[in-house]
């Protein structure tokens, strides 16, 4: 009889407003690798609610979240922990976006609690190095000194860490080409390695290769034309021609 009157009193003073809201079990942070297939379960969310009035239901609460995540049907009793799994709706590309603040609601039928789940997208090495130029070519003289920088190749790789680190090498179907030229591994400087003085005319057709830290490669054609002919240069402008000095007559005048 007494407990009945307490319940009656509580109902009178509070109505349903004394109902406790759902409590999330954690601040949820999940990691997921990019490119994992649609349908992959990437994490579980659990909430508790002791006093109803209904079993908890979970929903995604903004458009971005619904695009990325579906929730499974909840399992478990709200009084000890009711859970849903987050299922991936589409593949993630870390090179487009590295992290998400997903938004959800959980409700006990009376209180609705809004919450965030942090999702970090982890890199996999899914890009090969790419050269900035579709090909490289340069004409040089056979009198070029050893160690001269002929040209600089540049590649980029948008993956993170080792997967984005590039080393350069030079290749040719004719191995003897590589006695004349080499490429600086880190900076992509293509340089002469031996005297070219005996070459009258030759087109060296080689490839610069960029390799990332996990072995993915990109390559580009490099043509170096070596000739003993003078490399054409524009004729000197008349204004740069220094007139010959007048004959010296007053010897000793300036130097006394
Ligand atoms: C690179 O060179 C090879 C052989 O010299 C040629 O078959 C190929 O088409 C070239 N590629 C490009 C992109 O120029
Ligand atoms: Ca409740
Ligand atoms: Ca990547
Ligand atoms: Ca890469």
The tens digit of pLDDT for each residue in 90-100 reads 999 999 999 99
pLDDT of residue 7: 43
Q: Could you tell which of 221, 222, 225 is best to mutate to test the pocket of ligand 1, judged by most ligand atoms within 8 Å of the CB?
A: 221
Instruction: Give per-residue burial for 217-229: e unless 16+ CB within 10 Å, then b.
Output: ebbbebebebbee
- Residue scoring higher pLDDT (25 or 221): 221
pLDDT of residue 10: 46
**Which has the closest alpha carbon to 67: 86, 96, 87, 90?**
90
Pairing type for strands 135-141 and 217-227 reads parallel
pLDDT of 250 > 80? The answer is no
Residue of the CA atom closest to atom 7 of ligand 1:
221
Check if the beta carbon of residue 221 is closer than 8 Å to that of residue 205: yes
pTM (2 d.p.): 0.75
Phi and psi dihedrals of 113, rounded to 5?
-110, 125
Check if the beta carbon of residue 129 is closer than 8 Å to that of residue 166: yes
* Confidence tier at 231 by pLDDT (50, 70, 90): low
Ligand 1 pocket, Cβ-based, cut-off 6 angstroms = 135, 205, 221
Residues with CB under 5 A from ligand 3 (ion): 94, 123, 126, 159
For residues 152 and 62, give the distance between their C-alpha atoms in angstroms, rounded to a whole number: 48
- The alpha carbon of 125 and the centre of ligand 1 are apart by a number of angstroms equal to 26
pLDDT of residue 233: 62
Domains of the chain: 13-122 (2.60.40.60), 130-227 (2.60.40.60)
DSSP alpha helices (H): ranges in the chain?
2-14, 63-68
pLDDT of residue 69: 97
Residue of the CA atom closest to atom 9 of ligand 1:
221
């Amino acid at each position: 009889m007494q407990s009945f009157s307490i319940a009656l009193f509580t109902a009178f003073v509070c109505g349903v407003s004394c109902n406790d809201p759902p409590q999330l079990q954690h601040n949820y942070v999940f990691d997921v690798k990019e490119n994992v297939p649609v349908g992959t379960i990437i994490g579980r969310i659990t909430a508790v609610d002791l006093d109803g009035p209904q079993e908890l239901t979970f929903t995604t609460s903004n458009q971005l979240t619904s695009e990325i995540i579906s929730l499974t049907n909840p399992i478990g009793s709200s009084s000890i922990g009711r859970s849903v799994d987050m299922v991936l709706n589409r593949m993630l590309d870390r090179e487009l976006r590295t992290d998400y603040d997903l938004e959800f609601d959980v409700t006990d039928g009376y209180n609705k609690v809004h919450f965030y789940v942090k999702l970090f997208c982890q890199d996999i090495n899914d890009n090969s190095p790419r050269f900035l130029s579709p090909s490289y070519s340069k004409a040089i003289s056979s009198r070029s000194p050893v160690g001269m920088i002929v040209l600089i190749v540049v590649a980029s790789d948008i993956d993170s860490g080792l997967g984005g680190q590039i080393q350069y090498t030079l290749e040719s179907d004719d191995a003897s080409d590589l006695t004349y030229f080499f490429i600086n591994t880190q900076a992509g400087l293509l340089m002469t390695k031996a005297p070219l003085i005996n070459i009258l005319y030759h087109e060296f057709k080689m490839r610069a290769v960029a390799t990332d830290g996990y072995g993915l490669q990109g390559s580009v054609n490099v043509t170096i034309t070596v000739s003993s002919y003078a490399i054409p240069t524009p004729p000197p402008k008349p204004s740069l021609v220094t007139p010959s000095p007048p004959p010296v007559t007053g010897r000793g005048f300036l130097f006394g």
